[in-house]
Amino acid sequence: MPIRLIVGLGNPGQEYEQTRHNAGFWLVDELARSTPRCHLSRESKYHALAAKTTIAGQEVWLLEPQTFMNRSGQSVGALARFYKILPDEILVAHDELDIPPGIAKLKKGGSSGGHNGLKDITAALGTQDYWRLRIGIGHPRTLNLQQAVVDFVLHRPRKEEQPLIDEAIAKSLSIIPLLCEGNFNAAAMKLHTVEK
């Protein structure tokens, strides 16, 4: 099953634009920018910014829910139901506390790990069996920061972290065509291989 819907998670509004929690938005923004004739525009029936485009010869929807993180499922569920997109044809890009900046990982299913956006999408789809592109932002404890998680995700990455996150997003973008062809093994291998 090729990917037919790529969702980036984040919070709408200028005050959140540069925060770690918006890493999923950053990926979809970059994907839209690098795809010819692809412009995200407001789609009120999906409570989102959305665009239909072609990647690797496949028709794919890009989606950025504008409902705030903990209501992301409202948007994802509405578009998936309307276009009859199955959970295993959906890729959700999101910030991941358990992975250090500079690394991104692909996985299918599993728990939400406390991520409210994933929790709401799982509830809306009625299953955990959709693909996730986990963009590492690190954890305040592993980064030696005395900061609560909720505060940490709603702040900008530090100067030294931003280029690493950007690098992980760039590497993630390079596997999107493989995902849209349904070639998940090759995509995972390419993403998870550390270049020497």
pLDDT in tens, 116-149: 999 999 999 999 999 999 999 999 998 888 899 9
Known binder of ligand: residue 70?
yes
Mean pLDDT across the stretch 96-119? 94
pLDDT band at 113 (very low <50, low <70, confident <90, very high): confident
Candidates 21, 47, 94, 115; catalytic one: 21
**pLDDT beyond 60 at 196:** no
Q: Quick one: which of 124, 161, 172 has its CA closest to 20?
A: 161
Instruction: Return the axis-axis angle of helices 116-125 and 72-82, rounded to nearest 10°.
Output: 30
The whole-angstrom separation of Cα 154 and Cα 58 is 35
The whole-angstrom separation of Cα 160 and Cα 20 is 13
Known binder of ligand: residue 25?
no
Known binder of ligand: residue 68?
yes
**pLDDT beyond 90 at 107:** yes
Residues in the chain: 196
> Is 21 an annotated catalytic residue?
yes
Known binder of ligand: residue 16?
yes
